[in-house]
């Protein structure tokens, strides 16, 4: 049986991947089958956006990467300044001034055993390319999402605040969304409260008050999430971090998602029910506009 699918979904051949200090083509950007990222999903990552040649909130992303690594007792073999320099070097090598950057740190090559102490030096690689997570028309007209049966990882098992390479929890929820004919799904925690979506944070608006689940509900403390909270404060809009239930979703006047790749995108249908009038609301549209202005003006 032939399992060779090397030409299917292959990356662009002219890409340059930053791998352990060198820029190499995709064909040479390889890690060992004994790397713990392959064997166990043992590593961490960050997704970053670059606008007009400037990486948006680069220091915050790298700080979160360091926090994720520290949480799994992985020592990144680079300083933050070196990581920042490598990020820009990769973007420039690929002529990416507006796009997406993936920064990955694995624990490195080890044995088939679980012990993380029997490993070589961690591996670091960076990819810079274009990305279109959702079709453009959804940003204007809104998207449909569904609740899924896959629960968010219990915070005492694997903390959702760690951006680890083991994303199976999110992937299973994403499959459920795609099976339902939509692109995103809401994940609930073990207590039945809304945690986040498979790759995005979620915000509701009810009676003029913006609401989002607290981080301790099982959501990642998103960089875009925090940027939008700052924009909400700047406009002096009522805002609460609070536990949200399925009922809160169903009676919301507006809803939107935030994420590095997604940016800010309106939601107009949840579980087959229209959100408000079934079109992006005025507060959502205002925050989308504010965020676009923010990323274009950010230093």
Q: What is the CATH number of the domain that holds 81?
A: 3.30.470.10
The residue written with tokens 């043992």 in the block is 42
**Pair 248, 119 in one domain:** no
Residue 6, domain member (yes or no): no
Q: What is the pLDDT of residue 1?
A: 45
Range of the domain at 160: 136-297
**Pair 34, 180 in one domain:** no
Q: What is the pLDDT of residue 8?
A: 57
**Pair 96, 239 in one domain:** no
Residue 237, domain member (yes or no): yes
Long-range interactions of 228-233: CB distance < 8 A, separation 24+: 228/203, 228/258, 228/264, 228/287, 228/291, 231/287, 231/290, 231/291, 231/294, 232/287
Q: What is the pLDDT of residue 9?
A: 55
Catalytic residues: 163
**Pair 85, 184 in one domain:** no
Residue 9, domain member (yes or no): no
> Cα separations (Å) of 232 from 17, 219, 237, 281, 288?
37, 19, 6, 15, 11
Is the distance from CB of 177 to CB of 216 less than 8 angstroms? no
**Pair 174, 117 in one domain:** no
Number of domains within the chain: 2
**Pair 113, 191 in one domain:** no
> Cα separations (Å) of 50 from 87, 282, 289?
10, 27, 18
- Distance CA(165)–CA(233), nearest Å, equals 33
- Comparing CA positions, the residue from 292, 192, 224, 197 lying closest to residue 57 is 224
**Pair 59, 155 in one domain:** no
Q: List pLDDT tens digits, range 113-159.
A: 888 887 779 999 999 999 888 999 999 999 999 999 999 999 888 88
Residue 10, domain member (yes or no): no
**Which tokens go with 16?**
């340059």
Residue 271, domain member (yes or no): yes
**Pair 88, 226 in one domain:** no
pLDDT < 70: residue spans in the chain: 1-11, 13, 298-299
**Pair 22, 53 in one domain:** yes
Q: What is the CATH number of the domain that holds 254?
A: 3.20.10.10
Of the CA atoms within 13 Å of residue 214, those in its CB half-sphere come to 7
**Which tokens go with 287?**
């925050």
The 10 Å Cβ neighbour count of residue 201 is 25
Q: What is the pLDDT of residue 10?
A: 60
Q: What is the pLDDT of residue 3?
A: 42
Where does a domain end: 129, 154, 173? Answer: 129
Where does a domain end: 109, 129, 149? Answer: 129
**Pair 52, 153 in one domain:** no
Of the CA atoms within 13 Å of residue 41, those in its CB half-sphere come to 9
Residue 90, domain member (yes or no): yes
Q: List pLDDT tens digits, range 250-280.
A: 999 999 999 999 999 999 999 999 999 999 9
Mean pLDDT rounded to a whole number for the chain: 94
The whole model's pTM is what? 0.93
**Pair 155, 288 in one domain:** yes
Q: What is the pLDDT of residue 153?
A: 92
Q: What is the pLDDT of residue 298?
A: 62
**Pair 101, 75 in one domain:** yes
């Amino acid at each position: 049986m032939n399992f060779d699918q090397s030409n299917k979904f292959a990356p662009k051949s002219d890409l340059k991947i930053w791998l352990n200090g060198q820029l190499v083509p995709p064909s040479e950007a390889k890690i060992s089958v004994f790397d713990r990222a392959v064997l166990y999903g043992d590593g961490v990552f960050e997704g970053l956006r670059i606008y007009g040649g400037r990486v948006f909130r680069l220091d915050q992303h790298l700080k979160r990467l360091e926090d994720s690594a520290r949480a799994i007792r992985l020592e990144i073999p680079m300083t933050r300044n070196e990581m920042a320099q490598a990020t820009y070097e990769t973007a420039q090598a690929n002529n990416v001034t507006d796009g997406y950057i993936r920064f990955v740190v694995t624990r490195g090559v080890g044995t088939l055993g679980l012990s993380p102490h029997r490993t070589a030096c961690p591996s670091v690689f960076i990819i810079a390319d274009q990305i279109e997570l959702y079709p453009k028309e959804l940003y204007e007209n809104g998207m449909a999402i569904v609740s899924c049966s896959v629960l968010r990882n219990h915070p005492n098992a694997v903390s959702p605040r760690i951006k680890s390479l083991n994303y199976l929890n999110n992937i299973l929820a994403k499959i459920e969304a795609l099976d339902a004919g939509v692109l995103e799904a809401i994940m609930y925690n073990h207590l039945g409260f809304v945690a986040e979506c498979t790759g995005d944070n979620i915000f509701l608006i009810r009676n003029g008050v913006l609401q989002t689940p607290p981080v301790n509900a099982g959501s990642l403390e998103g960089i875009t999430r925090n940027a939008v909270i700052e924009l909400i404060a700047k406009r002096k809009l009522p805002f609460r971090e609070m536990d949200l239930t399925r009922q809160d979703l169903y009676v919301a006047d507006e809803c939107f998602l935030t994420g590095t790749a997604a940016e800010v995108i309106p939601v107009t249908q949840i579980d087959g029910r229209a959100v408000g009038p079934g079109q992006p609301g005025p507060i959502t549209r205002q925050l989308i506009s504010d965020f676009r202005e923010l990323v274009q003006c950010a230093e």
